[in-house]
Amino acid sequence: MILHALRTRLLALWILLLASAAATAYLLVEFYKQSAAVQVAAAEGAVARACRDIGERYAVFVSGRSGNGREIDPTLQTQLTDVVDAALARAPGIEGGIWTGGSGSAAYGFPTYEGTGPKTDLPSAELDTIRRINAEAARSERPVTVRIAARTQSLVLQACPLRGPIPNATAWTMMRVHTDQGPAYIQLLTGLGFLALTVIGSASLLGRLLYVLSRRIGRLEMRLRTHDQDSGDLPYLEPTGIRELDRLVLALNAAGARLAAARQRAASAERLAAVGRMASGVAHEIRNPLAAMRLKAENALASRDPIRSRAALTVVLEQIDRMDRLLRDLLSLIQPRPPALAPTDIADVLAASARLHEELAGAKRIRIEIVAPALARADQPCLDEGQIRRAADNLILNAVQNCPEGALVRVTAARAGDRLRIAVEDTGPGVPDALRARLFEPFVTGRPDGTGLGLAIVREIARAHGGEARLEPGGPGATFELDLPWQPS
């Protein structure tokens, strides 16, 4: 998700940069067009002045001359060419001449031509245009200007009528404006080239940044995903080489170190608290039989009746048996034995456990019901039969002891996928809310005569098999469940 958002933001940044470059390129082109328009306008002014200069020099040349309809002979053509050259001598890049309606070009000159030698031939490509605008100027008796725009240049022509003895005479001038040359065009190319380099460079940098970030963040994500989540600790992350990202990595590593230290302190405190509760429970459970034994022993010593002495010694032995069971339960709790797995007839185990408590259940008119499938040996799960029997004994005894008279205790076993679930359900009053959170801890019990070790032993047996023991929520009554892996034989 983070990577997706980062990629989206970088892409948005790149799009904004591209849009900005496009806008700048548009402005550069528009500026260039305006500059080209200024050049063309300046050319129009220069062409108009040159055409007037030809007209003024032609007027001086023909002043005092008489005649109407005079033909253009070679001598006159040479003289008119001199007039044109003199008028255009100070008009760089402008060519022109004198045109008549009858004979066409009467004179042509391009004194500022930069080629090798003087240029004396008319521009053939523009000859039709020259003929057309001169005819229009002669007909309208006013100057005519034509602008022809091409991709790399603009052509500006003007024709103006001439007064004099030569009928239908007109002067024309022409200038080519190369819009692909000059400072404006160079600036345009420079600006567009810089923009192209900027866009390509930024795209490359953003692409590389996105690629590197994707790989580094993907590596961190993989490290976090493959880390053992059950450990509760944060994994150590290797630096990525990106300073900004490494600040986050260092912060996570520091947080992981603090979390591990806090977990160690909490575990130590929890162990100390558990040891304290266990020591308190052991002291309480031993103090009661010791007090009873002391009282009976003192009575036996004080009494001279052998029957009373024997009865006192019998009570002492019973209390010693109680203490022995307590110590045996403690040892099995703090020194769990690894389960010896073997095919187990779970229905037989549960039935045998129920028979052990038939006398106590009968005294309280409690009915014990067993619901378990009978399986062939090849289909039986692999369990430690002794440990499962002891867990079932504790759960059934716990249900019988906490149920009122006439209750029902149902013991079920069923396979759910690759799990075996053994449930002991009763119709008793249920478990008080105050005990639910600590019910499987040692010495936690709701009965005054209970040791609080039975459910703790059940949980350790379940965990030794790779499973879990839990109290199912809801009611009425209480339902304890053993959730174990079904390991086929």
How confident is the model at residue 161, as a pLDDT? Answer: 94
DSSP 335-356: SPPPP--EE--HHHHHHHHHHH
Interatomic CA distance for residues 80 and 454, integer angstroms: 133
Other C-beta atoms closer than 10 Å to the C-beta of 32 total 18
pLDDT digits (tens, 9 = 90+) for 104-134: 899 999 999 887 778 888 888 889 999 999 9
Cα within 13 Å of Cα(447), Cβ side: 16
Nearest to 85, CA basis, from 120, 60, 129, 125: 120
Cβ atoms of residues 168 and 101 within 8 Å: yes
What region, left, alpha or beta, does residue 17 occupy, with left being phi > 0 and alpha being psi -120 to 50 degrees?
alpha
Chain CA centroid to CA 455, Å: 47
β-pair type (408-416, 367-371): parallel
Whether residue 343 is preceded by a cis peptide bond, meaning omega within 30 degrees of 0, is no
Q: What are the beta bridge partners of residue 410?
A: 369, 425
Q: What is the DSSP letter of 380?
A: S
How confident is the model at residue 212, as a pLDDT? Answer: 75
How confident is the model at residue 287, as a pLDDT? Answer: 64
Cβ atoms of residues 418 and 379 within 8 Å: no
CATH code of the domain occupying 2-185: 3.30.450
Cβ atoms of residues 110 and 119 within 8 Å: yes
Name the residue ranges covered by the structural domains of the chain. 2-185, 243-334, 342-485
How confident is the model at residue 471, as a pLDDT? Answer: 86
Interatomic CA distance for residues 105 and 109, integer angstroms: 11
pTM: 0.42
How confident is the model at residue 108, as a pLDDT? Answer: 93
Helix residue spans in 227-357 (DSSP H): 243-302, 306-334, 346-356
Interatomic CA distance for residues 95 and 123, integer angstroms: 10
Contacts of 110 (CB under 8 A, 6+ apart): 88, 94, 95, 96, 118, 119
Chain CA centroid to CA 469, Å: 40
Chain CA centroid to CA 427, Å: 53
Tokens describing residue 256: 């992981």
Cβ atoms of residues 134 and 159 within 8 Å: yes
Q: Rg for the chain (alpha carbons), in Å? A: 56
CATH code of the domain occupying 243-334: 1.10.287
Contacts of 16 (CB under 8 A, 6+ apart): none
- Which letter, b or e, does each residue of 298-332 get, where b requires 16 or more Cβ atoms within 10 Å of its Cβ? eebeeeeeeeebeebeebbeebeebbeebeebbeb
How confident is the model at residue 392, as a pLDDT? Answer: 87
Of all helices (H) and strands (E), which one includes residue 468? strand 468-471
Cβ atoms of residues 32 and 184 within 8 Å: yes
CATH 3.30.1330.10 fits 342-485, yes or no: no
Nearest to 349, CA basis, from 366, 372, 368: 372
Low-confidence ranges of the chain (pLDDT < 70): 1-7, 10, 25-36, 64-71, 151, 179-189, 191-192, 227-233, 244, 267-289, 291-292, 296, 318, 321-336, 443-452, 475, 489
